[in-house]
């Protein structure tokens, strides 16, 4: 007779950040800033301030020169310095070798082969045991005096917050920070705890927002080519004049689903950052998220491109007007919000005064030619000019990628249906490497002969992570791939519901005897599953290697170049 294993349903704090967090430290933390100023009444009973501190924080002690965070790592926690001093390496950043960045370990050849007989007979078998925490391996910065001499650094003291950019924006760490004093003590707050603290304490939210914006601005402006040549005074003037704006919902999944229902009318429903035909009052730089570049076409709007982080809008028109004050032109395209988009705006007057006079000629954009003036042809859209291959991408494909928000994917599974024989070798390979159950569906939106399959795209903006109460879904610290820790996944379905692409599937779990696992309420215990890009497999994604007809690949759709090259690969 079959028996059904009945277990306690996993809950948010089953796996505290620090299982041995001393109760006395809660009192100590509640007595210091910023927690002292927080109103405990503003927190709900399900997530009280002491509960958050007890379960979502950990006190870490670092030795002198020990690395706390490394530039480029994907981190999901922020830090508050409790005692001692830390130092941030501002510029130039330290090379990966100096900070001991290493790729995630892969299975050995023998362990890979052992999958032939060691895969469980039943699908989705989980051993209900918590993963032993890996012993932390400290990395120490070598030759600190040389680092201090060769790199611009800044000291951080007790009470300073850092790491919140990576934790909140789902982006890699922007700087390396190491402990400067022996015994530097920090409070590490995992992001879901930080999210709750920010949600229920407006003062902390305002404080973190301010420092987040300051730090994001300083590091971001360095990355814009035409701002690199600025003298310190001009840079300060530009920084002071830069305005921050955030559009769209932080969790834009619901908004997107509504827009999908709107169909072709979706473009008109999108918020406009800057409108075609308006006078160019400033340049807009996309800090994170995406924006759609459109142009009026008949009674509608044609998508010309989508702009991701680091792309600039309006610069060409401002340069044109600066060089031709008597023949000023309006903005040639509209910029519309898609998803959750941070933008920085620098007023045109500041650009004209501080940036353009000293800008080397080779950094000036090509002139805009207005039809009927000096030429019959209009220049292509500014973003397309620097990317000749993008010009070859047809407008319908652009609409397809934008309408379905597919540009968000950094490892999207694309299938050439003209070559795909529907043999499902990719699906079988995925199942073989994932305990018998494939992690994707060979099905998804189609444009012409291009299908973007329902496989995790490892998004640039992984909004699936937003609602996860335990942080089970997270970015791999080395490559930034979005992965799920099966040991801390409580099967709450938040990530699956939030994923706009339907790429996360909830599956029923079984014990090692193949019996279904159920909670005490007799409902099945679920876990979230999705493509992990075969991070632990020695050969890389099995789906790509298994395709006999060169029909399947994983591509970064944040820009169009890889897709255009792939579509023209033969």
Residue placing its CB nearer to another protein in the complex, 262 or 417: 417
393 vs 433, beta carbon nearer another protein = 433
Using the minimum distance from each CB to another protein, give the nearer residue, 273 or 397: 397
DSSP symbols for 144-170: HHHHHHHSEEEEEETT-EESHHHHHH-
Q: CA 67, CA 138: separation in Å to the nearest integer?
A: 7
Q: Quote the least distance from Cβ 525 to another protein, whole Å.
A: 27
HEC sequence for 473-495: EEECCCCCCEEECCCCCCCCCHH
- Within 288-347, where are the H helices? 315-323
Would you say 108 or 131 has its CB closer to another protein? 108
Dihedral (Cα; 298, 304, 307, 313), 10-degree rounding = -70
Residue 570 class from Cβ within 10 Å (0-12 exposed, 13-18 middle, 19+ buried)?
A: exposed
Q: C-beta of 539: minimal distance to another protein in Å?
A: 4
Q: Sign of torsion, CA 337 250 494 306?
A: positive
Cα 9 from Cα 258, distance rounded (Å): 32
Taking the complex as a whole, the smallest distance from the CB of residue 448 to another protein amounts, in Å, to 8
**Beta carbon nearer to another protein, 106 or 199:** 106
Minimal distance, residue 428 CB to another protein, in Å:
7
| Shortest reach from residue 533's CB to another protein, in Å | 14
The Cα–Cα gap between 67 and 86 comes to 9
Query: Which residues are within 8 A (CB) of 199 and not within 5 positions of it... i.e. 6 or more apart?
Result: 205
Q: Which is nearer to another protein, 45 or 569 (CB)?
A: 569
Could you give the C-alpha distances from 541 to 38, 415, 419, 497, 545, in angstroms and in order?
47, 14, 19, 25, 7
**Which residue from 419, 460, 458, 422 is spatially nearest to 439, judged by alpha carbons?**
458
Distance CA 209, CA 192 (A): 16
Q: How far is the CB of 125 from another protein (least distance, A)?
A: 18
Q: Report the 3 state secondary structure along 408-421.
A: HECCEEEEECCCCC
CB of residue 385 to another protein, shortest distance in Å: 23
Phi-psi region of 471 (alpha: psi -120 to 50; beta: other; left: phi over 0): left
Which residue lies nearer to another protein by CB, 305 or 433?
A: 433
C-beta of 53 vs 551, nearer to another protein:
551
Q: Of 277 and 548, which CB lies nearer to another protein in the complex structure?
A: 548
Provide the Cα torsion 50, 472, 459, 567; round to 10°: 180
| Closer residue to another protein, CB minimum distance, 360 or 540 | 540
* Dihedral of the alpha carbons of 221, 225, 230, 236, in degrees to the nearest 10: -10
Cβ at position 69, least distance to another protein in Å = 33
Question: Residue 527 Cβ, how far from another protein at the closest point, in Å?
Answer: 21
Report the distance separating Cα 303 and Cα 326, nearest Å.
Answer: 30
| CB nearer to another protein: pick between 422 and 520 | 422
Do 538 and 105 meet the contact criterion of CB atoms below 8 Å apart? no
**CA 543 to CA 555: how far, in whole Å?**
13
Total Cβ atoms within 10 A of residue 97: 8
Tell me whether residue 301 or residue 447 sits nearer to another protein (CB atom): 447
Is the Cβ–Cβ distance between 174 and 219 less than 8 Å? Answer: yes
Minimum distance of another protein from residue 87's CB (angstroms): 42
CB of 115 to another protein, least distance (A): 5
CA–CA distance, 472 with 486 (Å, rounded to integer): 7
Q: 143 φ, ψ to 5°? A: 50, 55
Written as one string, the DSSP assignment of 3-29 is --EEEPPP-GGGS-SSTT--HHHHHHH
- Considering only CA atoms, which of 159, 273, 289 is closest in space to residue 216? 289
Q: Cβ of residue 416: shortest distance to another protein, in angstroms?
A: 8
Widest CA span in the chain:
89
CA 357, 360, 366, 367 dihedral sign is: positive
CB closer to another protein, 454 vs 470: 454
Q: Which residues bind another protein (CB under 8 A)?
A: 107, 109, 112-113, 115-116, 417-423, 425, 428-429, 432-433, 441-443, 446, 448-449, 451, 537-539, 542, 544-551, 569-570
| In the complex, minimum distance from the CB of residue 419 to another protein, in angstroms, rounded to a whole number | 6
CB of 553 to another protein, least distance (A): 10
User: Is the Cβ of residue 109 or residue 240 nearer to another protein in the bound state?
Assistant: 109
């Amino acid at each position: 007779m079959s028996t059904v294993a009945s277990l306690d349903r996993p809950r948010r704090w089953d796996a505290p950040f620090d299982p041995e967090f001393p109760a006395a430290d809660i009192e100590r933390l509640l007595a210091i800033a910023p927690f002292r100023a927080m109103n405990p009444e503003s927190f709900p009973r399900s997530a009280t301030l002491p509960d958050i501190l007890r379960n979502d924080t950990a006190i870490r002690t670092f030795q002198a020169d020990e690395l706390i965070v490394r530039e480029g790592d994907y981190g999901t926690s922020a830090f508050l310095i409790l005692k001692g001093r830390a130092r941030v390496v501002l510029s130039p950043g330290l090379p990966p070798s100096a900070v001991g960045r290493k790729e995630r370990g892969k299975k050995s050849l023998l362990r890979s082969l052992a999958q032939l007989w060691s895969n469980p007979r039943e699908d989705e078998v989980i051993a209900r045991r918590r993963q032993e925490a890996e012993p932390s391996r400290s990395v120490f910065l070598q030759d600190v005096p040389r680092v201090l001499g060769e790199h611009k650094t800044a000291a951080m003291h007790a009470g300073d917050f850092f790491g919140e950019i990576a934790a909140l924006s789902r982006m890699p760490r922007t700087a390396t920070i190491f402990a400067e004093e022996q015994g530097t003590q920090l409070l590490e707050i995992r992001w879901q705890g930080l999210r709750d603290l920010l949600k229920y304490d407006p003062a902390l939210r305002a404080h973190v927002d301010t420092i987040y914006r300051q730090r994001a601005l300083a590091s971001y402006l360095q990355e814009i080519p035409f701002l690199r040549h600025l003298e310190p005074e001009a840079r300060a003037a530009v920084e002071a004049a830069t305005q921050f704006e955030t559009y769209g919902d932080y969790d834009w999944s619901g908004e997107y689903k509504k827009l999908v229902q709107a169909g072709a009318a979706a473009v008109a429903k999108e918020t406009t950052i800057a409108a075609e035909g308006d006078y160019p009052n400033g340049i807009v730089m996309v800090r994170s998220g995406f924006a759609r570049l459109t142009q009026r076409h008949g009674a509608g709007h044609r998508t010309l491109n989508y702009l991701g982080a680091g792309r600039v809008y309006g610069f060409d028109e401002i340069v044109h007007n600066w060089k031709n004050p008597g023949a000023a032109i309006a903005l040639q395209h509209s910029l519309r919000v898609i998803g959750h988009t941070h933008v920085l705006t620098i007023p045109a007057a500041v650009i004209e005064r501080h940036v353009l006079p000293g800008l080397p000629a080779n950094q000036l954009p090509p002139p805009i030619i207005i039809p009927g003036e000096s030429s019959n042809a209009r220049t292509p859209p500014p973003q397309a000019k620097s990317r000749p291959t993008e010009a070859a991408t047809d407008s319908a494909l652009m609409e397809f990628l934008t309408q379905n928000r597919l540009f968000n994917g950094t490892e999207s599974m694309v299938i050439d249906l003209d070559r795909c024989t529907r043999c499902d070798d990719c699906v079988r390979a995925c199942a073989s490497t994932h305990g018998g159950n494939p992690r994707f569906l060979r099905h998804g939106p189609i444009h012409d002969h291009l299908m973007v399959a329902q496989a995790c795209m490892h998004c640039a903006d992984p909004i699936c992570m937003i609602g996860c109460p335990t942080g089970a879904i997270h970015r791999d610290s080395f490559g930034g791939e979005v992965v799920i820790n099966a040991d801390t996944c409580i099967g709450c379905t938040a990530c699956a519901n939030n994923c706009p692409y339907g790429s996360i599937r909830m599956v029923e779990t079984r014990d090692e005897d193949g019996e279904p696992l159920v909670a005490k309420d007799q409902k099945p215990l679920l876990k979230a599953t999705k493509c992990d890009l075969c991070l632990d497999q020695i050969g890389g994604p099995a789906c790509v290697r298994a395709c006999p007809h060169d029909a399947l690949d994983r591509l970064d759709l944040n820009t169009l170049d890889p897709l255009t090259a792939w579509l023209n690969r033969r």
